[in-house]
A and B are shown apart, each in its own frame.
Chain A
């Protein structure tokens, strides 16, 4: 915050700066004083360098102008000079700025080359933008990738002002990206539908996620902590509602987390091979529904951006049409194909849930094997 205060002190705006109102770019230094990323700190330094050069030039230009406005006014009875054109002056004010620019270009170039230095990464994560969530896939040399979706966790009640807004309003997700500290992580960034942009200001990574193309970016985070960001390329109605949350943890904790993820994936796979009791399916389905469907279909299945589920002829009709909507989505609407996004067991659970919750009471139980056989046609 020190720099923020210095900036305010230059009296850009005579404004009482509220402590919580950050007015400058992230410094790349954590509150505890640790460097978050070298690159972030360097970019911040570059930003401030250019800023101060602009301030200096501004003081010169505006100073001359203000003095002139004060001293060279007709009401003071001055006679206008008629001087114009002066080759020396004109050459000077062309050449001097040019050299100032060269001065700026040198550090800018070296920083840019670092931004582009994607070599020697210790791990790679595939980041895919979806309307309106992120998918993270940890690429594994043995082909055992771990993948999950990261959805906005802020409730609709907070967004629509019926509940008090939490501290991390709109910047919190259900499942954050977890990466180990002091490790060079390479991000491979792409998108599934429209262009998105993956940005975390404090670690100074922003790259567009473009469908059909894969962009590269990297980071090496030196300070453990939680870093938050947002999608920064307009990607449709809920562009403002797809945050990024990164947890940077120690290597040991990361390994534990990874093991737990693998364990959960294995349990899912095992579960998919068995028949689950109704109440377990319902409980799991409710969780899936709240995380992935509630935003559009409403907490009580009453609908909203999506159709009502309560009393829906699809949710209460034949199983195949219902699975069709969930697995393949409805083209041209906000209803996406969840077949590739949710595991078979989760699709089974949420289908069961929709067929029995909100007064739908069909009594149908859908198992993962049903989903598998539906998908296989």
Chain B
């Protein structure tokens, strides 16, 4: 690094004014972890109330506020920003760029997030309480029948959308323009590929979400009737718009996770990813399909049968590219020379549990069977298998994998392994029984339940407390590593790791690749 380059400014202004992709990445990661704990705290309230039948701790209305905020905070506050943080840290280092293409916008897209979530959380203190209509906020429960705080919720969603769109534009601009010479598209690491495609999805659907909440705003305050049949509108229209955003949204969450796993499994198998090109095509295929399957969330709204059939067939098709991904990862492991450090453990955990979530997804795609599954705990189990064991496990794997590169210090491996096993067991104890109660007939989003669901619910709650506690271990491990972890001497850290980021010193210097790296020396992906 040249002498004329200064390091970070000191104190608070470093973080407020920073345009450095590493600083911004760090802030995104810490912010999302804080939100993860907040959303987790809401989940603990839910599980505590559901520990036994009967109403014990909270009132039904407050329970609904908890489920709503849990979903919103986890999706928009924890998972999405965490992957944006990862993208910030890694994309420039992976493609050999000095920074993100639009560094000031980068600063802005982070800094509007905390106020948005502060506003969302403050609705808890407002008269009438926080939004209590579920994270899917179906009208008219979220319009005519909503508490006054819904207006703040709408504003918060708008800000989050703006942040996501700015972040995505930045990622697209960076990937398209700032790759080191010789890094063709088909040589980009899969994490970069999955994020590029995710960014396009975000730019396509966040405006749709903004449209939905704006129509709500109009209905609530300006006398329109988009979603009210009494005025000529249609409540189901809301669901179509919401899920046109919402379905791609779940792939927005899971595609970067796929990217992470596609980096980590080859590293610890010491073997190249089996089918790089087919992984890229599968990702693109999933992204395309994600736009034409939204109404599988709405099989029971009374669509015409032709519509049901179309959405059923299209949804089933997603199993094909998803299968390609899973087969690829397993084949990559085949005849490798594997070791099982914490990142690999979390990746294998991802692989097993995400595949189970994929199977239940396939079951849910079957429209006539979905009439029985829809809006039950079976769905809750399904999406926690793909969201928590999918996105969160892969995010955790990513932190363990790249933390030594980011900080130059190693986390405690034993503690990491304990974290994995406690999470893995806690997760399954929480969510596996939810398949059973769902199939047996327990609707989701209820604060109290019939007696035959009692045993499994108690088990779920115990698992949730275990899973929740294990995250504190993670927090401790990361902080301990940053403060006093053993210094890593090797640039590569992991002997099987491949990619430009591993050619940098550890910790990665504040500014990297001011002169583009020569790619010929790099292995082809």
Contacts of A25 in B (CB 8 A): 372, 439-440
Q: Judge if B125 is at the interface, Cβ distance under 8 Å.
A: no
B235 with A159: CB separation less than 8 A: no
Near A by CB (< 8 A), chain B positions 310-366 give 312-313, 316-317, 319-320, 323-324, 326-327, 330-340, 348, 351-352, 355-356, 359, 362-363, 366
A210 with B235: CB separation less than 8 A: yes
Q: Judge if A211 is at the interface, Cβ distance under 8 Å.
A: yes
- Chain A to chain B contacts (Cβ below 8 Å), 14 pairs: A23-B436, A43-B372, A46-B366, A47-B363, A47-B366, A50-B363, A61-B355, A65-B333, A68-B333, A74-B270, A161-B55, A201-B372, A208-B302, A239-B64
Q: Complex: how many Å from CA A86 to CA B104?
A: 44
Contact residue among A109, A113, A169, A236 (Cβ-Cβ distance under 8 Å from B451): A169
A94 with B324: CB separation less than 8 A: yes
Question: Do most interface residues of chain B lie in helix, strand or loop, or is the interface mixed?
Answer: helix
Contact residue among A111, A113, A210 (Cβ-Cβ distance under 8 Å from B302): A210
Q: Judge if A128 is at the interface, Cβ distance under 8 Å.
A: no
Chain B: minimal CB distance from A115 (Å): 5
Contact residue among B277, B367, B443 (Cβ-Cβ distance under 8 Å from A240): B443
Q: Complex: how many Å from CA A18 to CA B316?
A: 34
Q: Complex: how many Å from CA A204 to CA B371?
A: 7
Q: Complex: how many Å from CA A56 to CA B132?
A: 41
The winner among A51, A68, A89 for most chain B CB atoms within 10 A is A68
Q: Complex: how many Å from CA A104 to CA B365?
A: 11
Given A211-B235, A215-B302, A232-B376, residue A22 in contact with residue B440 (CB < 8 A): yes
Q: Judge if B452 is at the interface, Cβ distance under 8 Å.
A: yes
Top 10 A-B residue pairs of the complex, sorted by shortest distance between their CB atoms? A212-B229, A240-B446, A215-B302, A54-B359, A22-B440, A23-B436, A237-B61, A80-B337, A111-B368, A81-B335
CB nearest to A162 among chain B residues: B54
A239 with B439: CB separation less than 8 A: no
Given A169-B450, A213-B234, A241-B60, residue A85 in contact with residue B138 (CB < 8 A): no
Chain B: minimal CB distance from A80 (Å): 4
Q: Judge if A108 is at the interface, Cβ distance under 8 Å.
A: yes
Contact residue among B55, B312, B335, B368 (Cβ-Cβ distance under 8 Å from A80): B335
Q: Judge if B278 is at the interface, Cβ distance under 8 Å.
A: yes
Q: Complex: how many Å from CA A356 to CA B432?
A: 54
Q: Complex: how many Å from CA A116 to CA B134?
A: 29
Contacts of B433 in A (CB 8 A): 13
A194 with B145: CB separation less than 8 A: yes
Contacts of A5 in B (CB 8 A): none
Contacts of B140 in A (CB 8 A): 193-195, 211
B338 with A73: CB separation less than 8 A: yes
B375 with A58: CB separation less than 8 A: no
Q: Complex: how many Å from CA A314 to CA B452?
A: 43
Contacts of B319 in A (CB 8 A): 97, 101
Q: Complex: how many Å from CA A215 to CA B348?
A: 45
A238 with B60: CB separation less than 8 A: yes
Contacts of A116 in B (CB 8 A): 305, 308
CB nearest to B269 among chain A residues: A80
Q: Judge if A168 is at the interface, Cβ distance under 8 Å.
A: yes
A229 with B363: CB separation less than 8 A: no
Contacts of B275 in A (CB 8 A): 84-86, 90
Chain A: minimal CB distance from B128 (Å): 10
CB nearest to A23 among chain B residues: B436
Contacts of B374 in A (CB 8 A): 197, 206, 232
Contacts of A89 in B (CB 8 A): 331
Contacts of B278 in A (CB 8 A): 90
Please name 10 further chain A to chain B contacts, defined as beta carbons within 8 Å, in addition to the given A22-B441, A24-B436, A208-B300, sorted by A numbering.
Answer: A43-B372, A84-B274, A85-B275, A86-B274, A90-B324, A94-B323, A168-B450, A170-B449, A194-B145, A206-B374
Contacts of B351 in A (CB 8 A): 65
Given A80-B270, A85-B276, A97-B319, residue A61 in contact with residue B134 (CB < 8 A): no
B138 with A83: CB separation less than 8 A: no
Near A by CB (< 8 A), chain B positions 264-312 give 269-278, 300-302, 305, 308-309, 312
Q: Judge if B258 is at the interface, Cβ distance under 8 Å.
A: no
Q: Complex: how many Å from CA A97 to CA B348?
A: 22
Contacts of A233 in B (CB 8 A): 138, 375
Chain A: minimal CB distance from B177 (Å): 29
Given A80-B270, A234-B445, residue A112 in contact with residue B359 (CB < 8 A): no
Q: Judge if A69 is at the interface, Cβ distance under 8 Å.
A: yes
Chain A positions 198 through 222: 1 when the CB is less than 8 Å from some CB of chain B, otherwise 0: 0101001111101111011000000
Chain B: minimal CB distance from A104 (Å): 7
Q: Complex: how many Å from CA A198 to CA B301?
A: 11
A234 with B236: CB separation less than 8 A: no
Q: Complex: how many Å from CA A161 to CA B230?
A: 41
Contacts of B366 in A (CB 8 A): 46-47, 50, 104, 108
Contacts of B301 in A (CB 8 A): 208, 210, 215
Chain A positions 154 through 188: 1 when the CB is less than 8 Å from some CB of chain B, otherwise 0: 00001111000101111100000000000000000
Q: Complex: how many Å from CA A81 to CA B335?
A: 6
CB nearest to A204 among chain B residues: B372
Q: Judge if A31 is at the interface, Cβ distance under 8 Å.
A: no
Number of interface residues of A (CB under 8 A): 96
Contacts of B486 in A (CB 8 A): none
Contacts of B76 in A (CB 8 A): none
Q: Complex: how many Å from CA A22 to CA B435?
A: 11
Q: Judge if A310 is at the interface, Cβ distance under 8 Å.
A: no
Q: Complex: how many Å from CA A242 to CA B239?
A: 23
Q: Judge if B191 is at the interface, Cβ distance under 8 Å.
A: no
CB nearest to A96 among chain B residues: B323
B316 with A21: CB separation less than 8 A: no
Contacts of B56 in A (CB 8 A): 161
A213 with B236: CB separation less than 8 A: yes
B324 with A47: CB separation less than 8 A: no
Q: Judge if B173 is at the interface, Cβ distance under 8 Å.
A: no
Given A43-B368, A210-B236, A211-B235, residue A237 in contact with residue B60 (CB < 8 A): yes
A171 with B367: CB separation less than 8 A: no
Chain A: minimal CB distance from B407 (Å): 26
Q: Judge if A32 is at the interface, Cβ distance under 8 Å.
A: no
Contacts of B428 in A (CB 8 A): 13
CB nearest to A214 among chain B residues: B302
Q: Judge if B413 is at the interface, Cβ distance under 8 Å.
A: no
Contacts of B331 in A (CB 8 A): 89
Contacts of B444 in A (CB 8 A): 232, 234
CB nearest to A50 among chain B residues: B363
A51 with B443: CB separation less than 8 A: no
Chain B positions 39 through 52: 1 when the CB is less than 8 Å from some CB of chain A, otherwise 0: 00000000000000
A230 with B443: CB separation less than 8 A: yes
Contact residue among B64, B138, B312, B355 (Cβ-Cβ distance under 8 Å from A105): B312
Chain B: minimal CB distance from A173 (Å): 13
Q: Judge if B219 is at the interface, Cβ distance under 8 Å.
A: no
Near A by CB (< 8 A), chain B positions 40-89 give 53-56, 59-61, 64
Q: Judge if A374 is at the interface, Cβ distance under 8 Å.
A: no
Near B by CB (< 8 A), chain A positions 100-131 give 101, 104-105, 108-109, 111-116, 131
Q: Complex: how many Å from CA A234 to CA B441?
A: 15
A158 with B369: CB separation less than 8 A: no
